[in-house]
Chains A and B, each alone.
Chain A
Amino acid sequence: MTRADRADLHTLTGAYAVYALSGRELLAFERHLADCEACAQEVRELRATAAKLGMATSLTPSPVLKDDVMRRIATVRQDPPRVARSEPEFSGGGAPPRRASRGRWQNFALAACLAGAVALGGVAVWQNQQASDARDTARRSEQQVARVEAVTEVLAAPDAHSRNAKLTNGATGTVVVSHALDKAAFLASGLPKPPDGRVYQLWFSDGGTMRSAGLMDTADTGTGRGTAALLSGAVGKASGVGVTVEPAGGSKAPTTDPIGLMSLPAG
């Protein structure tokens, strides 16, 4: 590319805004865009303008289309938020985002699974709402969504680290911690339902002193599905996370031996 070409790049904002660039030119312009705030601003404005051109052609879709779309989204997993910023929009798909470590991708995979669980739960929600008598399910599902969202945030954190442990009841537990967010999440698979009148309680271990990190929602236990919980409270200087079985309502301090104890990676 000659210097004149490069100087010319910024006049491509119009073509870019209406997706009229392709191949090498598209790549070159996107690279230029990353360093040219004035160009980015112009692209935003011209895209908003183009959107109006599109809106001026508005038609009324048939109701069938909506039913089809609603049915489809109920089975589609949602992507986690973009982490690497200012990645190209149109020409992307080549190189993986910089600084993506293997651990990060595993966390993303986990996050995607969780999002999937919610999306699948969503099928039932949508149908039930149409059937009218499933307010509870909807409310429960909202809580579930909020919980999964909180957990996903930890899993997707750039500094997220995890530790696995086999629990004494045969389940597998994973604790994921982000010191940047000062939050930790606990994930378990194969966790059986707790005995009647009992709950699972989570703890932060501050050098051996157990600090309650809340109770787990046991709705998903014993189903073979995964269970996830955000530990309440800040991670602080905690050196580990524990799980115990406690009487309903939880305890101030553990009253039983932990079924699992996982050390936390240092911050």
Chain B
Amino acid sequence: MREPVFIGGPAPRGPDLEELLGLVARGDQNAFAALYDAVSGSVLGLTRSLLRDPAQAEEVTQEVLVEVWRTAARFEPARGSAMAWIMTLAHRRAVDRVRSAQSASDREERAALLNRTPAFDEVTEQVEARLEREQVRRCMQGLTELQRQSVTLAYYRGRTYREVAELLQLPLGTVKTRLRDGLIRLRDCMGVGA
């Protein structure tokens, strides 16, 4: 991403995260403090979307930021922007936490589906209600129903695509392609480069 990563509205010309991360890799705590200010809100928002419990979200946010400090020297710009790297770490950590605590709710969720109370619809609403940024909201609305459900369940709920297929009672191949098509459409809609 060459553009500043803020979405919609007049983007505050933020600090150069790659540069800050380079300083952090050298043990610069002031640079880390600046990096924290730039990314912690997004990390917390994402972990909260996934975990829903505020205390757990804060805990995971802490873990993620400490991991950023610890592994800053391993950030490879060729693999993407600093923001994408940090959000990938955050997503992964929060999803790991979700999965380890999931077996109980699986049953409930399946039951909900069978009772024609599709849990994923609620999920979609909840998440979308919290999407403060117009661009993402608009682009999400440009997806087909299946694409949106697949992306939402996988990204905001931390489901594997196999679980998504099971929850939506769709063939694996369908979910696989909907997930990819959905993300590609979002990418094009948001004008994201790598």
Question: When A53-B186, A122-B29 are in contact, do A76 and B69 touch as well, CB less than 8 Å?
Answer: yes
Please tell me if B90 contacts chain A, counting CB pairs below 8 Å.
yes
Encode B126-140 as 1/0 by CB contact (under 8 A) with A: 010011110111000
Interface centre among B26, B58, B79, B131 (most CB of A within 10 A): B26
- Please give me the residue from chain B that is nearest to A70 by CB atom: B33
Please tell me if A99 contacts chain B, counting CB pairs below 8 Å.
no
Please tell me if B72 contacts chain A, counting CB pairs below 8 Å.
yes
- Please give me the residue from chain B that is nearest to A121 by CB atom: B27
Q: How far is the CB of B186 from chain A (nearest CB, A)?
A: 5
Which range holds the interface residue count of chain A? 35 or more
Please tell me if A13 contacts chain B, counting CB pairs below 8 Å.
yes
- Please give me the residue from chain B that is nearest to A26 by CB atom: B160
Q: How far is the CB of A84 from chain B (nearest CB, A)?
A: 11
Q: How far is the CB of B40 from chain A (nearest CB, A)?
A: 5
Please tell me if B10 contacts chain A, counting CB pairs below 8 Å.
no
- Please give me the residue from chain A that is nearest to B65 by CB atom: A69
* CB pair A14 B62 closer than 8 Å: no
Q: List 8 A-B contacts (CB under 8 A).
A: A48-B192, A54-B46, A61-B61, A62-B58, A78-B73, A81-B73, A82-B76, A129-B30
Grouping DSSP codes into helix (H, G, I), strand (E, B) and loop, the A interface class, with mixed when no group exceeds half, is helix
Chain A residues close to B by CB (< 8 Å):
8, 11-15, 17-22, 41, 44-62, 65-66, 68-70, 72-74, 76-82, 90, 115, 118-119, 122, 125-126, 129, 142, 145-146, 148-149
* CB pair A49 B192 closer than 8 Å: yes
State in angstroms the CA–CA spacing of A229 and B112 once bound together.
65
* CB pair B48 A59 closer than 8 Å: yes
Please name the 3 residue pairs, one residue from A and one from B, whose CB atoms are nearest each other, closest first. A14-B180, A57-B45, A44-B194
* CB pair B74 A15 closer than 8 Å: no
* CB pair B44 A61 closer than 8 Å: yes
- Please give me the residue from chain A that is nearest to B72 by CB atom: A78
Chain B positions within 8 Å of A82 at CB level: 73-74, 76
Interface centre among A19, A22, A149 (most CB of B within 10 A): A19
A13 touches which one: B69, B70, B76, B180 (CB < 8 A)?
A: B180
* CB pair A48 B84 closer than 8 Å: yes
- Please give me the residue from chain B that is nearest to A17 by CB atom: B183
State in angstroms the CA–CA spacing of A56 and B65 once bound together.
19
* CB pair B136 A52 closer than 8 Å: yes
State in angstroms the CA–CA spacing of A73 and B158 once bound together.
27
State in angstroms the CA–CA spacing of A81 and B80 once bound together.
17
